Structure formats: structure tokens, C-alpha cells
Structure 1
């Protein structure tokens, strides 16, 4: 048996998806993006971002473990492909979901190799193949597994070209196929004219089918549907039946009119139209194919031509006694099609796409193949079918685009959770060929409906499981400009293979909309026959604008009999896996990190051996040195690449770990009995796992202990040293949390006593309000720094505000602040909220957060009308660094993060350890390369950082010392001097970057030997800049407060950058992005602060001086000069 190994192929392309106003939408449009490196002849959506695709063993370029891959996972977020190492040949197989969410691939073909090729799967016959894709939460598919053991688990009968269908008990019904290769047609000797089930019924004995015998020779991939009464409707050739699974009887229904035949090799397509409450009356639509006679044998194939016209007929039948008696209703498509496919859209319309205008399915059998294709005249423009419109007016192709890629035989298509259409494949030939009119096609396209580029409805709080006939509530947001014409659809997206989407299904749900239009109360399908038990996607459509789909992992529950079978199979599968997993030999270990007990913590005994630890391994990223060079290329003003920020896809090529690292570390964990493994992070660069303390001690050759924070009493489970195998050192940066000691609670801004005003106002402060010297308001800052009050105009330019530890930004306090201190602005100006790790932004007069209020009031109050998002990160009660990690990982995964981010929290550099400092700093580098300006308050402890004044050396803060962020110190007074709490100094982890080498060297030369030995003179100097940080007026809890701290300085400076970005975007220029090379190249753009110091550790600290200094950096901003320096 085998479990898959997954290999990432670095084929990344960008896709444009915007959320512009509805009137600015792009309409229907194709986007070409990336390569599958194999023919996607079969496709099935298995998660919000993953599509499993299968081909055949015949020379595709995608490789894994030294041989061709014929299965893969396509990631719709990253637009890349990940190979699957299969055992048997999946050529012309089928598949579907079981009730528990497991995807099963069934059938296939013996491996066929051409002369001179090596068989990668000898003696592994795909005809009885049974492949199990287990549900997996990882967005890139790594650690998702595909179980396959042909020796113990297989079909009862050989099946090539079968159909599979999920039925009312949650199992798969497997229908028809052929037992061995054929020239073109099926025949009596070869036909698998039977049904079987997985998990097995009837003791594993297939049920014979007279219908499948009658419908020869063109009956492969019979079009089959589970009806809401539990029976199965089937179309093969031009014949139809219903099959009663429980009674095992076939009922013959009317033939498709006019001799039109629709199953392979005469491929048309079919779909079950949407089922609507209360009656859920089933209707089936069958389109395309051919009316060529079926009175032929394989000896007659030479009489067929690639130029024989396909059929343009669509036939529709209502599957009630009255509808069956009435028979088929005939309509006609705008053009004929063979091998088309139909996709149910969430609004109930049917998209008909792909195929040719003449010929047949299969490869190189007709008398005049086009290259190797039996078909010709590709139909390149899709068409929509409106099942609710009157006969004669149901087809519409207005606004639908035309592709330049022919999708002929062996192509696939699927609706995606995002609401757009995945299109891939096409290979009407044997092997890989590129010189024919219809070559092997590896390019991926998305067909984007008009709603992909407008503001869309959204859902939240969607349940993972829903019981039949249950009522459940979903929160919704409906964009302005849409009314409340709503449809709610529950969908199975189906398995695409050979012009048919097996198990595809749409059930409209009954619902009521709340009076405030914020919630929908829905009623689940009434029973397991209307919607067979299993996974589903929920969509909301408002005025034909459709939301993203929300995944429901299970509708209803397994029936008892089925559940027993599934559990039995799973037990056998995992037992087989365990039997081939040897106990690993002990490897040579190397110490990864070690430290002493931090001064603010004390040992508190050994935790219980079974206490669970959530650990994560930082995998070594592929080429961060090259990414750093790219960052400086796009961020240094005199570079030819200045401003050409990298895309998410481009940084992914640098930041993704190698396949070897992923596999090697995963195998080490699995070999040591660790099974709860998840690959995570924006670049699949973290492996998360849960183990007991005893297992962690064994795995890392360490001793986890309880530690207590002396002041707060908070407890952590940590270790002072851990090791990893020596051979894993090139693959692992660190394991976290191990030696990082971070108190989970962050500092809040200091409530300040007013500072006496300066005796004189400087020239630049003339015209400022009289009380600016003792009380700082937006008007003071506008006057001091020349910040304009004119509104921003670019909605795409955003500023983000980080929020941690249950700091809630209050809307009412913001309204009071603006009304009092920015009366020229609308009092309704507000911010959006983004939640990470379950973060909330609870409202209430007793819940005001000083830090959160300060940050949002001085971003919205200074960066006038710049869209602001408050990013609230859930409380990291056991890992104070976890929020920092998850925040930056989330932003790195976003296609359009805010262009400016301000954060008013920091750690002492030694809290995290150098490995974690470097890892987080590299994540900031990655975001900076994409054009994001990251600003952090430098800290409020002077040179003591967060340590007591008894410290014996200066304490730099993190991330202040990271060279890829902009650290902001504090000043005070109108005639500005350094705020004495402004932390600054020199990193003990990061070396001095070249952009500050000259100015820092000049400062150190002037400093001489003062405090020599108390700091790392070769380290990165910080802060970089400064802004006001004392006597800052805010509104909090319906009262006026004055606060102090660099917590105020960072949002003030960030607002300046956001306003400059607004003007740059308006002028068609790129935003500033990573700031520091630009800032240090333009020292004239700052008001130099030359007075004050930042005492600590029993010293006077560093003195402020002319030019850069480690208290106020380059100084405070001069908006007009910065704007000029930016080229405006």
C-alpha cells in the first residue's frame, strides 16, 4: 500500500480579482494562470482552495520521487500544482465524496507505456483501482493523504470509463464501464454491465444491469443522478431508466428524442436541474452529443469522420408520473457541441462550456482525425441556460467571453468555492504532444462571472455540520446597492470527467431574512434523498451577485450500516499503514537553542506527562537572501527597480520551503509517532503538531518545565534547551514555543502627567493652537508637521492598525474624538475590523482599550479618510509571540494587505530568542517586498527596554532591531526634545544594514567610549524616526484622557506615510513600501531632534544629537519635504 508524497512545483502566476464598486465590474472574463504539468482529465474540489486532478501514466512532465506523476492537487489560492504519488493508473476513472467527506477515486486502466518508456507502476492494474483522499484542513494539501492498497482494497469488477454517484445512505454507487481496452465502442464481451457500491453492499457481489447491456455500444460514463425519492435516473446511449436501489428494479423511461446519443464515445452532457422547496421536483437536462447511429461495431469506426456534425439539441424531462408521461421537451443550443460540460451556478443557471462542433470523443480512431483528435471545430464561447425562462428563450451568451484555448477530449471544469470556474486539461491524443492542432493542454483558466469584480455578499458563523430539516442561522453582510432578492443554494460541486459532472447537485433552501438584514435563518434539506449525506458548499446570491461558498463538512449523519463499513475500512487502512512503518533508529542530535531562566520568571515544577503542547516547526525557507536583495532593489531610491514591488506569487517562490524540507521533517515526525500534523503558514513554511509533554521531551531530547512569571503569576510550559536531529539542521529554523519566554500580556500606553510647556515656539509651530505645548491633538500635529487635513481620495490605499490582548477600539469614543478634535470630518467616519485567532472588538463603555482607542483615533484623525482596518488578534494566553506570528502570516497570505501597518506592541529582544527574532523579521521582509510599510513603536523603557532599571546592559526591543521595519521613537513639547522613555539603541541580533551605515557610524564616532560595552556597536540602530509621544489627548470610555508612549508615535508617523501613499496612488505611482532606504536617503525631510536622552540601566542612556541618534532616529516628519522626496 502507499500514502502519497506531495511535491510542490514552482509554477506561480497571478490572478486579478478585485472588489470594485458594482458599476465598475469587469463582466464575464477568462484569466489564464499557471500550469498543471499534467492533463487535468478529471477534477474535483476537495477544500476551499484545492482541486484534485488526475490524468494517466503517459509521459506528463510533472515529476515525483523520480518518475512521472499522474495525479496532483491544484491550489487555487497560490495557482500552483502539487504532485501526488499514485500506485495505479487513474486513466478515465470516476470519483465522488462519501458521507464522511472522504473523496474516493474508482476505476482506471492498466498502465500503458510506449516503446522505450519505463513502467512507473508495474503490475498495478487501475481497472479495479480504489483510491481514498482523506479530508484535510491544510490549504495547500500537504499532509493530506491518499490511501491506496491494490492488494487489499479494490473494486469487485474491472471498470474503465465508469460513473460514480453518492446515494441516499452516503455511499458511492459505481455504474458501468468496460473491462478492458477497446478500439472505440463498448461491446457485450467487454462491458461491465453492472452496479457495485463502496463501501460494499450485497457481500461485494456486483448487481447485473439489463439496461447497460441494452444501451451498448455507446454507454460509457452513463449520466446518472440520485433523485429526491432515492431512485437513480440513468442515461446511456439514447436510453433512460430509473433504478430502485432498494427493490433492485429498473423502470424504462422514454428515449432521448431524434436519435440523439449522449454517452461515450458519443459524448453529450447532462445535469440534474436545481431542486426547490417545498416539492423538490426533479428535472434532468441533456445537451449535445450526436445523432449518429449506434448500429455500428468497432470494425465500422472508419466510416466516422471528425467532421460529422454534433447535435445542438437539449432535451428536458420532469421526473414525475405526469412529466414522464408528457416525455422530453426539446430545445436547441446556439451551436452544436460534442463533449461539452454543464456547470450548475449558485443562482440556478447552467453554464455550458467546452467541446467541439463536430466529431466524437476518444482518440485517433475515425478516418480523418485532426492530429490525433476525433473531433474538430472547438466551441470557444460558453453559453448560459436559464431553466426558469420560457421555452425558446433559455439560452443567453450576451457578455460571455471567448477563450483562445480549445478544451476537447480529456478536459475538466468545476465551479470553485470562490464562485468562479476552474477550467483545465484537454489531450485528444496518446501521450504528451504539442505540435497538433489540439495539443496536450496544461494551462489553467478561470472563467470569472461578473460578480467576481464587484462588492459581494458575505457569510460568517456557518455551521460545520447540519442535520436534516434543521433550522440554522448564518450572519450575512449585503453590500450597498444590492436589494434583498436572495437565493440560498446548497451544492455538491461534483466530479468532472469526460463531459459529465457526477454527483453535481443544487438544492435551494428555504430561509427568512432578519429585519436588520444581518442574518438568514435557513432550513436544511428535509431528508437524505433530497441531499445525500455528505459535504456541501453554501452560497448566497443577492441580485445575481454571489458570495464565496462556505464549506459545510457534513449534511446529516451516516446511517448506521454505512458508518460501520467506513470505520472498518479506515481501521484496515491505518492498520496497513502502521504495519509498514518501522520504528526509527535514534539519530544523532544537535542542540538547536538554549538559554538561562529569564530574570522575570521562576521554575515551577514539571507539568503532567500527558499535558498537550501545541508546537510548530519553522521550515527553512528556500531563498531569503535573494528575497532580501529583491527587497532592497525595489525599496532603494537610486535603484532601477525602485517601486516595482513584488507580487504574492513572486515572494512565494523565495519563501516556500523546498519539497525536500517538507518531506524530510514530516517523515521524521511521522516516524516518531506524531500523527496530528498540519502544514501551515502563507508559504507552507510551518509544520504544526500536537503532542504530550512526554512525547515532546523524547522528540526534542529536552525537558519541558512549568515556569511562572514572578510579577503576574502567569504560567508557561517551556524548556531551556532543545535539540533536533543533525541531518535536519538544514531544514529547520526553530521549534516554537520552546525557549521563547514572553509574558502573554502586552504593555498599554502610560497615562501621563502634563509636561510644562516650552518657553518659546519654533517658527514651524507658528499658528498652532496655544495649548499644543501641553496637550497634543490632531490640529497640533497638523501644524507641527505640516500634515494636510484634505481628505484622501484613493479607496485602494489602506492603513492597518494591530490590536492585541483584548484591546477594543470603541466606535462611540471615535465618534466623540472626531466630533471634538476633527469637527471638519464626518462623525460617522469609522474603521473596518479584521479578526485573527478569534479576535473580537467588543463594544461598550466599560470595555474601552486605551491602546486600541489611541491607535485608531490618531490614524483616522490624522490620515483623513484613508480607509482604516483594525486587525484584532485573539488573546494568546499561552504564547505571547503567537499573535505576532499569526498576524504577519495572515497578512503575508492576503492578495491585497494594507499598504501601511502600525503596531504599538513590542518585546525585549531576548524574550523570543534569536531564531524566532530572525524568523519574524524575515516575515516582515517578505511583506515589505510587496510594498507594505511596517511601523512599530520603539518601546517605552529607555535603554532598559522592558527590564528593571537594575539591568547591567542596555536592552534592545523587538521588532525595533529588525532591519526591515521602521521603528518610531517619541518626542515631547512643541520645541521638540526626546521623550525620556523613548527606547532605542542597537540590536544584539541583527547587524547594521547598509542604508544606515554612514549616519550610525557618525553618531558612534561622536559618542566615543561613553557606555562602551553596554551595547552592540555593530548592531542595527533604532529607532529610525520619531513623533510626538507625550500628552496625547484621546477619548476613552466617554472621558478625555492624556496618554504618553511611543504607542502614540507609531500611528502618528504611519498616518503621514498613508497620506503620502494616497497622493502617490492618485498620481499613478507605486506606494512607498519598505521605508527605510527612502528615509535615510532623505534626512532633509525631518525636523532634527538634538536634545534629550533615554536613561535606563542606571545610566543617562543615549543622548539625542544632530543627525540620526538612537533616541529619535532621523527626527520627526516634515510632510511637505517628504512629499517632494517621494516625487510629488
Structure 2
């Protein structure tokens, strides 16, 4: 009888372990990634679990307060009111914590519906039935990822996804910097004849708004990621040389640190993207308060691999999008406009993660925040390559994210003759087309007359929504002047315009504009139609599938067109 004891114990243990099911699986890793090396079981890994939501009342609220025809238009929620409208997730979170505790993981942190914990690779393998390895993209630092993981079957209605597991994402900013001949920053705007400066933009887009009131309550927020930092002295010099008005007092931006973000405030550490965003956002927003949200976090780097930087464990594995958006949502008085100049290929972002980020943007809409994002700089081919290979190797145009989220306003780029060839636009493969753009997009699809039919999702959310000049922006920094181009140049300019509109509305006792798109698509006359030019397409052997072209009305190259600020001011304030 004693000989049977180990067998009986084994049966009891097996019976106590709940059956597991596959939760996320990657058949193949995205283009550009390769297996780098194995991981030691003792290596520490930080993981986050997104708790699944079971109802979406907040979406109904976001739609209602953003609908100009609704009696509740502009009745935005405060932080506590939004929290009360969100699904109850405490019970699901408790079930997940209990599961972790049963695997000797006792230290967990619940931040809203986002559960954080640390473990070892060996323990994570046992917990998730996963095989964590080091993967690398190009010359980037190797990161810990797995191609699949399992969860207990009884938690399938509690867990949305676990990060970072099958998430092979490479956050990027779309701006492409072009250095002009090195020279000292001029004492006046003498180079504005050959470059875009703030005064050129005000003339081009009819920005005639009287000086804004810094006490009106209107604010502009700028998202900063990937160790991109502005510098106060450099920005002050730019505003002095190229700003629109002389300020008796220094016009300074505020910096808020999120998720281990930093603010070195040293000219040598300033980044081209951060300077572009802040210099032009502040120049157009005039005297309105501007906050730069320096957000830390990249995919995990391991100190055990030769040549890699050591990243603190509490920073490793953190994707900045969720940390950034959750921080804004918790603010009592968040900026009513956010400018985001970062993008990625939609296919490189796992669907559950994309849905999570987009749901946070919807929650911001319920709070009255306009989220303005860049469409990207790869034309119809996305951000990475021109071969346009979809998840299964099928040739397709590659949409970008978060540009494809229906709860953001996406900005493309134009040049002197029409749409900028590099400006990204297209149709989401993740998100369905919302009703507010049905009419406009249907007209464009009719004009396409079957062109590109096999290259895009005809029912997907279409973007961009608007477009502005995106090439030849003069940016100052490090004792030199630079020219930059990209949708990350046009994005902060449009965001600043919206902040000016909010300034006028608040001074008139009206609510801020909040989620813009339902308003914009109902008032196409506020935009100058862009009808010339095509976006970059896809290279297929010796042939090229030309990208989406501009046309009369809304199109997937320039959206509704370029804004006429005076008309926006008249219609929207």
C-alpha cells in the first residue's frame, strides 16, 4: 500500500491544478524579429495583467457627451464619476490574485484594472505554460517574450491579456529629421523664407484668434516617450526668435514625470522630436499652459546580455501607452487636448492590447479630452518596410496604431502641391468604421471604383481625419537650426489650434470640444479640400502598388483636408 502513496499524491496534486487553455498565440513572430538567446530561469521578469471588462457603459457615455445633437453634449465626467461608470473588476482581480498566490507570487499591485507583479522566468514558464526567450529586432536590445501562453480555464472571463508576453512591439516616432547646414541660431526669423515657421502657419491656416487667456482653463498636453526630452533654454530661445508674440514674462512649459520618466533639462540631451512638439505646440498655443509628459518605459532589456544597458526592474517591460493614458485619466484637471506624435504598425500591436489602449482613449473622450495623434510617415505601407506583408504573408496596406483607433483624431501631412507622399492613411484591420464617418468614407470608396480592393479592409475605421503642412519645419536646438518633416510636425500644430478653440469656448462659458470627430465630419466646410497627390505604396517585386490618393471630399490620404482656423472658430465657438 505504501508503494502507491506517491501515485496518490500525484493524483491529488494534478487534480488541484485547474485545467489551462491557450490565451494568446503567435504562429510566426513579426517581420524583423529573430530569436536571440535562451533565458536563465533565475532572470527576473515584470508582468502586468489586464483585467477583463464585462460591460461598456463608459462607451455609451463617451458617445453621448461627444454627440453635438445630444442634450448631454459637453457634460463630461470627472475622474471619480468615470471610475464609477467603469465595470466592476474587483472580483475578477481577486480571482487572479488568488491564482498568483497559489503559485507563491504574493507581491502584487492593482492599479485600476491593471495588475502588476514580478516573478522569475522559471516561475513564469510554470505559471503560464510559456517558453520565454530573448528576441531581438535589428540592433535593438533583446527582450523577453514568448510566442504563446496559457491561463486557467476558470480565469478566461477575468483576464484580458498578460503583458509583455506575445507583444512584439517597437514604439517609434514618425518624424524624420533633416539637418540644415550648421549655423548659429539667427537673431530673427530670417530663415523662415525657406522653411516653415510659426508665422507661416498662422498665415496659411488663418489663425487670427486674439491672444489667448492663460487663465481661461484651456490646457495643452504633449506626450513624450523613448527618452525624448525638450530643454527649457532651447525652447525659450526658439520662442524669442520665431514666436508669434513678445511675452513680458517667460512663457514656460511644465514637465510631469510618468512611469520613471526623466527631465534632464540639458541641451545636449534634448531630442529632435521633443523640441519639435514643444516649440510648435507652444508657439501656436500662444500663452496657454503646456505640459510635457515625460513617460518612461520600453520593452524589457536584460543586463545579462553583453553590451546591453541595465534598466531598473521597475522600468523593464513597461509599455508607456497604458501608463501614460492611465495617468491622464486619474488627473483631476487633465489637459483638454493631448498631442501624440508616436505610432506603430497596427499588425505589430496585439489586438487585445490595441483594444485596451483604444478603450482608454474612449474614457478620455468621456472626460472631455481631445486626443490628437500622428498618422505616421510610411504612406500606405505603415512604418517599417515597403513589402506590405500582413500577418499571414498576404500583401496588404499596413494601417498604423493608435492612428486607427476610432476615439482619436488622426492628423496627416501635406506639402505645397497636395498630400505629402510619406503621410500614412488607410483602413483599420482591428476597428470597425464608426457611424460618424460612414457617409464621407463611402463617397471615397465609390471614387476608388474597385482600386486597391484586395489591399485594405473596406469596413475598417478610416483615417486620417485632417491634414496640415508637414515638411520643412524649422526647429532650433544645440546651437543649430534643423528642418524636420513628418506627421509629428503637423500634429502638435493642430492640437494647439484645438486648445485655442477651447480657450474661446471657455471664456464664453461653454464646455471644451472634447472628442472632435463627430463635430468635424458634420462640418466639412471648415476644411480646405486637398485633391492632389498620392501616398507611398508597396513594392511588389519590380512593381509598385501606389498608395491611397487625394480626391474631392474625404480621402485616405488627407482626410477632410486642411483646417481653416477662422472657420473653425466661427462654427465651433
Question: Taking structure 1 as the reference length, what is the TM-score of the superposition?
Answer: 0.45
- Alpha-carbon distance between aligned partners in 2 of 1:943 and 1:880, rounded to the nearest angstrom: 30
1:639 maps to which residue? 70
Report SS of the residue matched to 2:144. strand
Q: Among residues 275, 294, 299, which one is paired with 1:853 in the alignment?
A: 275
1:364-513 to 2 correspondences below 5 Å: none
* 1:619 corresponds to: 51
* Residues in 1 aligned to 2:360 and 2:531: alpha-carbon distance in whole angstroms: 34
- State yes or no: 1:906 paired with 2:331: no
* Secondary structure of the corresponding residue to residue 833 of structure 1: strand
Q: Secondary structure at the match of 2:482?
A: strand
| Structure 1 outlier segments of 4+, above 3 Å | 769-774
> Take 1:587 and 1:1035, find their aligned partners in 2: how far apart are those partners?
60
Give how far 1:883 is off: 1.0
Matched position secondary structure for 2:503: helix
Deviation at 1:621, TM superposition (A): 2.6
In structure 1, which of residues 578, 588, 599 is the aligned counterpart of residue 19 of structure 2?
588
Whether 1:1045 aligns to 2:477 is no
Mapped to 1, the partners of 2:163 and 2:146 lie a distance apart of: 10
1:727 to 154, 162, 170: 154
Match of 1:775 among 195, 219, 223: 195
Could you list the runs of 5+ residues in structure 2 that have no partner in the other structure? 1-12, 181-188, 301-315, 389-394, 540-544
- Residues of 2 paired with 1:729 and 1:654: CA distance? 23
User: Helix, strand or coil for the counterpart of 2:458?
Assistant: coil
Q: Any conservation in 1 of the 2:173–2:488 contact (CA below 8 Å)?
A: no
CA spacing shift, 1:659–1:800, aligned 2, 3 Å: same
Question: Partner residue of 2:226?
Answer: 805
For the 8 Å contact 2:218–2:336, the answer to whether it is kept is yes
Tell me, yes or no, if structure 1 residue 957 matches structure 2 residue 400. Answer: yes
Query: Which protein has the bigger helix share?
Result: 2
Structure 1 residue aligned with 2:469: 1028
Give how far 1:947 is off. Answer: 2.1
Displacement of 1:617 in angstroms is 0.6
Residue of structure 2 in register with 1:453 after alignment: none
Quick check: 722-731 or 923-932, which moved more? 722-731
Contact 1:622 1:654 in 2 (8 A): no
Match of residue 213 from structure 2: 793
Q: Distance in 2 between matches of 1:943 and 1:583?
A: 52
1:622 touches 1:655 (CA, 8 Å); kept in 2?
no
CA distance in 1, matches of 2:318, 2:118: 18
CA contact (8 A) 1:971 1:978 kept: yes
User: 3-state SS of the aligned residue for 2:321?
Assistant: helix
Conservation of the 8 A alpha-carbon contact between 1:739 and 1:912:
no
Q: Distance in 1 between matches of 2:569 and 2:241?
A: 29
Quick check: which one's strand share is greater? 1
Between the aligned partners of 1:619 and 1:583, the Cα distance in structure 2 is 27
SS of match in other structure, 2:447: helix
Shift of residue 725, structure 1, vs aligned partner: 1.7
After superposition, the Cα gap between the structure-2 partners of 1:1012 and 1:736, relative to the gap in structure 1 and judged at 3 Å, is same
Contact 1:672–1:699 (8 Å) recurs in 2? yes
Counterpart among 403, 407, 410 of residue 967 in structure 1: 410
**1:982 aligns to what?**
423
**Residues 645 and 931, structure 1, Cα contact 8 Å, conserved in 2:** yes
The corresponding residue for 1:1065 is: 506
The CA deviation at 1:844 is 2.6
1:1122 match: 568
SS at match of 1:977: coil
1:751 aligns with 2:191: no
2:122 is the counterpart of 1:712: no
Deviations 1:261-300 (A, max 9, x none): xxxxxxxxxxxxxxxxxxxxxxxxxxxxxxxxxxxxxxxx
- TM-score, structure 2 as length reference: 0.88
Deviation readout 1:17-49 (Å, 9 max, x if unpaired)? xxxxxxxxxxxxxxxxxxxxxxxxxxxxxxxxx
Distance 1:1077 1:732 in 2: 32
State the Cα distance separating 1:823 from its structure 2 match.
5.6
For 1:673 and 1:982, how far apart are their aligned partners in 2?
50
Q: Output one character per residue of 1:338-380: Cα deviation in whole Å (capped at 9) or x when no partner.
A: xxxxxxxxxxxxxxxxxxxxxxxxxxxxxxxxxxxxxxxxxxx
User: What's 2:164 paired with?
Assistant: 737
Unaligned runs of 5+ in 1: 1-581, 755-768
Is the 1:583–1:671 Cα contact (8 Å) retained in structure 2?
no
Cα offsets for 1:614-653 (capped at 9, x unmatched): 11110013532x2111111110111111111122222112
CA distance in 1, matches of 2:422, 2:145: 31
DSSP-derived class of the 2:16 partner: coil
Alpha-carbon offset, residue 790 of structure 1: 3.0
Give the alignment partner of residue 515 of structure 2, picking from 1059, 1074, 1085. 1074
Q: Quick one: distance in 1 between partners of 2:445 and 2:355?
A: 25
SS at match of 2:538: coil
**CA contact 1:714–1:743 (8 Å) conserved in 2:** no
Cα shift at 1:1096: 2.4
Q: CA RMSD in A?
A: 2.0
Does 2:554 match 1:1108? yes
Relative distance call for 1:753 and 1:1039 in structure 2 (3 A) is: closer
Cα distance in 2 for residues equivalent to 1:700 and 1:1026: 45
Mapped to 1, the partners of 2:62 and 2:123 lie a distance apart of: 40
1:577-618 deviation digits (Å, cap 9, x = unpaired): xxxxx9982222222211221111101232001111111110
How far did residue 928 of structure 1 move?
A: 1.3
**Secondary structure of 2:143 counterpart:** strand
| Distance of 2:365 and 2:561 partners within structure 1 | 22
Distance in structure 1 (CA, Å) of the matches to 2:255 and 2:17:
49
1:132-143 counterparts in 2 under 5 A?
none
SS of residue in 2 equivalent to 1:605: strand
How far apart are the structure 2 equivalents of 1:1063 and 1:1089? 28
Structure 1 residue 1122: Cα displacement: 1.2
CA distance in 1, matches of 2:267, 2:421: 33
Asked if structure 2 preserves the Cα contact closer than 8 Å seen for 1:832 and 1:869, the reply is: yes
| 8 A Cα contact 1:794 1:1066, kept in partner | no
Give me the whole-angstrom Cα distance separating, in 1, the residues matched to 2:323 and 2:353: 13
Q: Is the CA contact 1:1027–1:1117 (under 8 Å) kept in the aligned structure 2?
A: yes
Name the CA distance, whole Å, in 1 between partners of 2:211 and 2:263. Answer: 26
Equivalent of 1:818, from 230, 233, 239? 239
Secondary structure in structure 2 of the residue aligned to 1:1013: helix
